[in-house]
Amino acid sequence: MIQEDLERIREEAKEQIEKAVSSDDINQIKVNILGKKGALTAILRGMKDVAKEDRPKVGQLVNETREKIEQALAKTQAEMEAKAQNARLSAETIDVTLPAKRMERGHLHPNQVALREIEEIFIGMGYEVVDGPEVEKDYYNFEALNIPADHPAKDEQDTFYINRDMLLRTQTSGVQIHEMEKGRIPIRMIAPGRVYRADEVDATHSPVFHQVEGLVVDKGITFADLKGTLAEFAKGVFGEETKVRFRPHHFPFTEPSAEMDISCFKCGGKGCSFCKNEGWIEILGCGMVHPHVLEMCHIDPEEYSGFAFGIGLERIALLKYEIDDMRLLYENDIRFLRQF
């Protein structure tokens, strides 16, 4: 009798579950059959009428039935949920080729991009980066650099003067003197900064531009050290393949002096329009610190020696990023700046 009832309840449940279309239906079935007032619960309530010895068997049967129904319900519910999720996901399909949403990041000035590369290389070699005054005394810009009062380099046509003793520095080399005067040796420093020359603005000239001065002073510093150091610099900035060439030159504050060329990074030195068929591109001036300059800074040239170099920052930036007009650097057109 009870067995029959259970069989019927199971059949009904099966029928109802098959018909169910929503989780509400499923819940309703749960209430109808398994709930407090449900059919199965009613049977349990009828247990008191079952013979005592049959009770365990009947109880087991009831539990089995409940388990089966619960399993069926759970399975159906899982299937329904999966289906519903699939439907939602499918409805949520997007066009992945639509434009990206980006936050516009700002950009460094190309001078700064180049400077950071240069600084990184020299900081890695133990160089301190220092700053020096742009409005400079005549002594530091000229005299202490072995450029005496009568030297043609002092002509007004090149130098902006404030008055007889003060001027806008024409080179960062004066920072060498400031550093040496501090009396701390060894010195390994680079000094980036603005310099000023009385040149009209055009594609290759600007009255304001930047140099990066370098100075090393210690015992036993050699011309070979200068070569090796600057070769490392060139490789760091222009790539491992870069070759360097040193040409004798003259600067009043170094002796020997040199200009350094790098192998053209466009053609690898074969010669192209970029390097004017030379295969080489002039990059910087350098040399061994002149003994007289050391002496003026109270450094004994018999005991110490040093090398110095001056890099034109814009020159590096223009070359490296192939910028064909220097004026672009100071216009700050956002379409230009965004490219760096």
Partner 1 sequence: MNTPLSWIRDYVPDLTCTDKEYYDRMTLSGTKVESWTRLDKNCEKIVVGRVEELTKHPDADHLFVTRLNIGRAYAEDGYTAETDGLDGQYENCIQICTSAQNLHVGDVVPVCLNGGKVAGGHDGLEPPENGFKIKAGKMRGLPSVGMMCGITELGSDEQFYPGSINDGIYIFPKEYGDSLELGSDAVEALGLHDTSFEYEITSNRVDCYSILGIAREATVTFGVPFKAPEVQLRLEGEKETKDFIDVEIEAKDLCTRYIACAITDVKLGPSPWWMQRRLSNYGIRPINNLVDITNFVMMEYGQPMHAYDYDTLHGGKIVVKRAKDGEKFTTLDGQERNLDSDVLMIADGDRYVGLAGIMGGEDSMITGGVKTVLLESATFNGTNIRKASKRIGMRTDASAIFEKGLDPYNAEAAMDRACQLFEELGCGKVAKSYVDVHDELPALRRIPFEPERINAFLGTSYTKEHMLEIFRAEELEYDEATNEIIIPSFRQDLRQMCDLAEECARFDGYDKVPSTLPRSSATIGRLTPMMEIENAARDICMDYGYSEAETFSFESPKVFDALKLPEDDPLRRTIRIRNPLGDDYSIMRTTPIPGMLQSLATNYNRKNENVKLYQLGKVYLAKELPLVDYPDEREQLVLGFYGNGDFFNLKGVVEDFLRFVGMKDKPVYTRSDKPFLHPGRQAAIAYDGKELGFLGEMHPDVLKNYGIGARAYVAQIDMPTILEFASFVHHFEGIAKFPAISRDLSMVVPKAVPAGEIEAVFDRRGGKILESYSLFDIYEGAQVKEGCKSMAYNLTFRNKERTLAADEVDKAMKKILNGLEGLGIELRA
239 binds partner 1 (CB under 8 A): no
- Of 222, 241, 270, 321, the residue at the interface with partner 1 (CB under 8 A) is 222
Amino acid identity, residue 273? Answer: S
CB of 172 to partner 1, least distance (A): 14
- Of 126, 183, 241, 303, the residue at the interface with partner 1 (CB under 8 A) is 126
103 binds partner 1 (CB under 8 A): yes
49 binds partner 1 (CB under 8 A): no
Q: Stretches 28-36, 43-51, 78-86, 147-155: which one binds partner 1 (CB under 8 A)? A: 147-155
CB of 340 to partner 1, least distance (A): 8
Site for partner 1 in 304-333 (CB under 8 A): 305, 329-333
3-state SS record for the chain: CHHHHHHHHHHHHHHHHHHCCCHHHHHHHHHHHHCCCCHHHHHHHHHHHCCCCCHHHHHHHHHHHHHHHHHHHHHHHHHHHHHHHHHHHHHCCCCCCCCCCCCCCCCCCHHHHHHHHHHHHHHHCCCEECCCCCEEEHHHHCHHHCCCCCCHHHCCCCCCECCCCEEECCCCCHHHHHHHHCCCCCEEEEEEEEEECCCCCCCCCCCEEEEEEEEEEECCCCHHHHHHHHHHHHHHHHCCCCCEEEEEEEECCEEEEEEEEEECCCCCCCCCCCCCCCCEEEEEEEEEECHHHHHHCCCCCCCCEEEEEEEEHHHHHHHHCCCCCCCHHHHCCHHHHCCC
CB of 323 to partner 1, least distance (A): 13
Site for partner 1 in 160-179 (CB under 8 A): 160-163, 165-166, 168
Between 25 and 223, whose beta carbon lies closer to partner 1? 223
Between 99 and 220, whose beta carbon lies closer to partner 1? 220
Between 12 and 218, whose beta carbon lies closer to partner 1? 218
- Of 258, 264, 284, 316, the residue at the interface with partner 1 (CB under 8 A) is 258
Site for partner 1 in 2-21 (CB under 8 A): none
Amino acid identity, residue 275? Answer: C
56 binds partner 1 (CB under 8 A): no
Between 12 and 232, whose beta carbon lies closer to partner 1? 232
101 binds partner 1 (CB under 8 A): no
Give CA separation, 323 vs 136, 233, 293, 326, in Å.
31, 21, 37, 7
- 227: nearest Cα among 264, 258, 255, 185: 258
CB of 301 to partner 1, least distance (A): 8
CB of 298 to partner 1, least distance (A): 18
The two three-digit tokens of residue 183, written as one number = 């009396």
CB of 338 to partner 1, least distance (A): 7
- Of 42, 108, 239, 327, the residue at the interface with partner 1 (CB under 8 A) is 108
CB of 319 to partner 1, least distance (A): 18
Q: Stretches 3-11, 54-62, 92-100, 129-137: which one binds partner 1 (CB under 8 A)? A: 129-137
128 binds partner 1 (CB under 8 A): yes
Between 10 and 169, whose beta carbon lies closer to partner 1? 169
CB atoms closer than 10 angstroms to residue 219: 10
100 binds partner 1 (CB under 8 A): no
- 242: nearest Cα among 234, 250, 251: 234
Phi, psi of 182 (to 5 degrees): -70, -20
CB of 82 to partner 1, least distance (A): 38
Site for partner 1 in 276-305 (CB under 8 A): 288, 290-291, 305
